[in-house]
Structure 1
Amino acid sequence: MHHASRAYRWFLGLNYAILTLLALLCLFPIVNILAISFSSSDAVKAGSVTFWPVDFTLSSYKYILENQQFLNSFGTSLLRVVLGVATNLIFTILVAYPLSKEAAKFRSRTFYAWIFVFTMLFSGGLIPGYLVVKEAGLLDSIWALILPGAVPIFNVLLMLNFFRGLPKELEEAAWMDGAGHFRTLWSIYLPISLPSIATITLFAMVGHWNAWFDGMIYMKSPEGYPLATYLQSMLQQVTMIQSEMMTLEDATLLSQVSDRTTQASQIFLSVIPILLVYPFLQRYFVHGLVVGSVKG
């Protein structure tokens, strides 16, 4: 049996200590935001909230969940993630599969690959992109947030390299059985590509969920904002109810919340979907990322 030396044990201890410290440094901001969201506005304004709620209250969450604009934006983001991830997966797979073939089977493979890589490095710019979306009649629609980024080139490269690393004998056996390209892709390639698919799914989901700038550009009214765009627009102040419409219950609720507690509550609620999905994809994530990036 291997006997660890004292120097090696010291190295492991120091390694674990550094990694634990880094993990805590990453975790502390989230804990602080969570504590602020459950604290009273007076405690937050006084700066007495660190990692534990002070004067525990659910007023900020009550205020947010009664805010119809927040709920509409949350629903828009969910719809964007569902449609956007599905669109990204379909186009990524359909582009990566032919580009993974040898030049003898697909002579123009290198030409098309360089075209996709060129678009990854250079873009037409903000104004041409806006004009294209406008002329296509997509302004103020959910598709304006999805179609401009329908083919994520980085994900295509990961999937392409993963397909290249698969045994060629599997494809040859499928062709001998009479399968065509689509049948081979559906029955052979996709079932054994779950790690890579899970990786690009997570990338696409996080990208769509966190994107805010395109919503600010392509949506004419705040009613169509996705959640990230809505949160960005709310960084200024908490939207106040008109004084003539304010009831005693509204006044009491607003006295218990502030812009910081409301923003903290919104931020925490916005990360919940990612936190719920990531554990199910985490076991595929590292394997799919490594395999898709080193083989080729």
Structure 2
Amino acid sequence: MNKKSRVDWFDVVNYSLIVLCCMAMIYPIINVLAVSLSSYSAYIENPMRIWPKHINFASYQEIFSKPLLWSSYLNTIIVTAAGVVIGTFLYIITAYPLSKGHLKGRKVFMIFVVFTMLFNGGIIPNFYLMRAFGLVDTLAALVLPLLFSGFSLILMKTFMENIPEELEEAAKIDGASEPYLLFRIVVPLSKPIIATLCLFSAVAYWNNYFNAVLYIRSAENWPLMLFLKEMISNVTSNKLNNNGNLAELGHLQVTPETLQYATIMIVMVPILSIYPFVQKYFVKGIMLGSVKG
């Protein structure tokens, strides 16, 4: 009885902590959505609200009317898609040979991979490199810096090392070539880690802000993060120009805060929508890609 009581209390504490962590993560999203749909007077009344008051969609209509939003969306989708597809292909063709113990120089290659995780050329050398290749103010400058990660390569290599060699040996007996083994046997079995790395890459490209500030000059090449930054800057400037007249702001349908929160929501929702589709692969890919059994 005492043992059962201890187990029950342990479960209660665990579930309580899990619920608190979930609430801490979900609350900011709910708050942003609620404020973006509320009037300014409702925002002043309770900035931490979780339920919208005086619901209106004027802020979303204002943002959707801006052509720059759609060009920024297109640029971000192009950069994210290109980065995920090309990067995943590079991980696959690099991790497969490195997962073979008989590869000559395997340890040397892995030393170079780990070296890239510890040391970086720095901001100024990277900028000069991009400028030397003529990639400044192009979408390629947003794709290339995040294209390859030593950490992701190690995850995929470790996952492939756990694939039974008997499967490949049986295919080789039937006359299968190395490309056939890779793309018809190894890749289908590596779906969990591929989905996990695709999610990592997609989030990194979608949220990439610093490289955009560093390399992008013209507005037509802005990604979503630069558009968000510009919207927040304009909102802040408009608020300062209004001299803090809360009464005037309270009668407006589109106010600085609601416009700012609506922009954050529009930028955030697409990447959040991807996670449920790869969730079933996520834990399995990380666990099998981190520890060799």
| TM-score, reference length from structure 1 | 0.89
Q: Is 1:261 paired with 2:273?
A: no
Tell me the residue number matched to 1:73: 72
Question: What is the aligned partner in structure 1 of residue 49 from structure 2?
Answer: 50
1:81 and 1:3 map into 2 onto residues whose CA distance is 55
The residue number in structure 1 matching 2:285 is 288
Instruction: Give the letter for the 1:138 counterpart.
Output: L
Amino acid at match of 2:177: G
SS in 2 for 1:234: helix
- Within the alignment, does 1:84 sit opposite 2:83 as a pair? yes
Alpha-carbon distance, 1:239 to partner: 8.9
Q: Which amino acid aligns with 1:217?
A: L
Aligned to 2:153: 156
Letter of the 1:155 counterpart: S
Matched residue, 1:244: none
Normalised by the size of structure 2, how large is the TM-score?
0.90
1:226 to 223, 226, 234: 223
Whether the aligned pair in 2 keeps the contact of 1:216 and 1:225 (CA below 8 Å) is no
**Is the 2:155–2:193 contact (alpha carbons within 8 Å) kept by the matching residues of 1?**
yes
Query: Partners of 1:18 and 1:123 in 2: how far apart?
Result: 38
- Which of 230, 233, 236 in structure 2 is aligned with 1:236? 233
Does residue 177 of structure 2 align to residue 180 of structure 1? yes
> Deviation digits for residues 243-265 of structure 1, max 9, x if unmatched?
xxxxxxxxx9x932222211211
- Verify the 8 A CA contact 1:213 1:229 in the aligned structure 2: no
Shift of 1:174: 2.1
SS of 2:125's partner is: helix
Asked if structure 1 preserves the Cα contact closer than 8 Å seen for 2:231 and 2:263, the reply is: no
The equivalent of 1:20 in structure 2 is: 19
Q: Secondary structure at the match of 2:32?
A: helix
SS at match of 1:188: helix
On the 8 A contact 2:209/2:226 being kept in 1, the answer is yes
Tell whether 2:191 aligns with 1:194. yes
Match of residue 217 from structure 1: 214
Distance 2:189 2:15 in 1: 35
The residue aligned with 1:246 is none
The CA distance in 1 between the partners of 2:206 and 2:260, in whole Å, is 17
* Letter aligned with residue 15 of structure 1: N
Gaps of 5+ in 2: 239-248
Residues 228 and 267 in structure 2, CA contact (< 8 A), matched pair in contact too: no
Alignment-derived partner of residue 105 in structure 2: 108
How far did residue 31 of structure 1 move? Answer: 0.8
Q: Does 1:273 align with 2:262?
A: no
Q: Percent identity?
A: 37
Moved more, 85-94 or 167-176: 167-176
Label 1:87 to 1:21 Cα distance change in 2 as closer, same or farther (>3 A). same
1:248 counterpart residue number: none
In structure 1, how many angstroms separate the alpha carbons of the residues matched to 2:75 and 2:204?
15
2:47 and 2:269 map into 1 onto residues whose CA distance is 26
* 3-state SS of 2:78 partner: helix
